Chains A and B, each alone.
Chain A
């Protein structure tokens, strides 16, 4: 067993060796610029790029012509949100809708649009992390131009009902963007059936390389957007810049493998998830964050009450996980996602996100459970809150000196 055990697949995944092998020739030998039309170096690169585009399109049942390469999901989200808002606001209006638990790449793109005169609604999800369809419908106004909802949440793993939300958008003539960075290879996506207009993808959450992503832009009915990156007019004018052939080849191969293997892989991961869930919920006072049924098995976000997340991560340094709490950032705020679910401060500060994937083994899971049980016990011995809880003190009624 390699220590620390990697359980942070939602942050990034390793590049599958099969993917890396496929990429290497396009760095050293087949280095041509896919936009070079005058010689075989360019032709070979272009062929590889188009083959990769087909693999990406195949995973989500789209037409390759609907796939635009970007540098990753952050860029895809920015291009979709700003590009659509700019293009359509003259006719439709300047109101935009998203969810409070979205990724920062969506939230901050919305904030930027607010700064230049748009009006944004940030819907609060239900305590299980899912959006109430009626509340979503009620938020739509005649001047709503765009709604953006993520398919699978990066912190709590819940799967939104994209089909129903998309239908509502269609009825109200609202363009619908979906951030699917955490969804590819985990849930089935069929864009011939899903009423989604634009969808963001990332390679490195699906065993491809970092620095490459894609944006699906529907052709029927045709969706237009204002380019955010100007230059040589690559990608049909939507995203200029020389294509990173080796990265693109990597993303294509990763998505091809995902399509071939996702159903078997997800069955295996579901088993590991259930094993982890069973082991950890044997500990007293633990709370799973996010709906237990509408979630990908790759994610388990748990709050260990009366134990602070950062000290817990220090205690379990044999496993590489992330905290919904302050730990990873310089800010000392608890997770805004957990706060949006209405979790108490203590629970928000006590959360750990376990995310598992292709190379996680049963042995890894057992090791993690054993370690957690031992360390939670130790930290609770240290915790005055645990002592008070055991003495029957209601922590909600204590007057704390906030600092």
Chain B
């Protein structure tokens, strides 16, 4: 299957790989997907004092499109409020990466990961 240049770029040079302290009250962690389905995404966001997301990190087990979707999302999240972050739609991710139809589920998973991370953060407040 041929990948778009943007997917390849994120796959070859993934942005913001790593982990944040999941016990930090200002860190929200979202883990979505399942090994059985071939993708698992862990997305973490850290809220700054100004109410904006100051850092985002990810780790993903999955195909190139899943890795690219989560890498892209970490870039999109930085500097956003939680409300703005929550409004990120999978279609925007799919469009930015030019995902083919069989890979749309990767962008859906990335959107789910954002929501899961925000929910986790809110549950700590």
Contact = CB atoms under 8 A, between A and B. Distances in A.
B61 A384 contact: yes
B63 to A, nearest CB: 4
B26 to A, nearest CB: 21
B53 interface: no
Chain A interface mostly: helix
Interface string A364-403: 0000000000000000011111110000000100001111
Contacts of A382: 14, 17, 59-61, 67
A90 to B, nearest CB: 45
B40 A384 contact: yes
Contacts of B108: 403
Nearest to A330: B102
B37 A332 contact: yes
A314 B37 CA distance: 18
Interface in B93-125: 102, 105, 108-109, 112
Nearest to A395: B35
Which of B31, B33, B59, B102 neighbours the largest number of chain A CB atoms within 10 Å of its CB? B59
B73 to A, nearest CB: 14
Contacts of A349: 35, 38
B35 A400 contact: yes
Interface residues of A, number: 29
B63 A308 contact: yes
A169 to B, nearest CB: 37
Interface in B70-112: 102, 105, 108-109, 112
A26 interface: no
A314 B40 contact: no
A334 B1 CA distance: 17
A307 interface: yes
Interface string B47-71: 0000000000001111110110000
A306 interface: yes
A82 B31 CA distance: 49
A381 B17 contact: yes
B32 A401 contact: yes
Contacts of B32: 401, 403
B44 to A, nearest CB: 10
Given A308-B62, A345-B35, A387 B11 contact: no
Contact of B61 (A308, A344, A402, A403): A308
A403 B105 contact: yes
A385 B35 contact: yes
A310 interface: yes
Contacts of B3: 314
Which of A309, A345, A400 neighbours the largest number of chain B CB atoms within 10 Å of its CB? A400
B38 A403 contact: no
Given A382-B17, A400-B40, A311 B64 contact: yes
Interface of B: 1, 3, 11, 14, 17, 19, 31-42, 59-64, 66-67, 102, 105, 108-109, 112
- 9 tightest Cβ-Cβ pairs between the two chains A and B: A400-B34, A345-B36, A384-B42, A310-B63, A384-B59, A346-B35, A383-B61, A402-B34, A314-B64
13 contacts: A310-B38, A310-B62, A311-B63, A327-B1, A327-B63, A344-B35, A345-B36, A349-B38, A381-B17, A382-B61, A387-B19, A400-B34, A403-B33
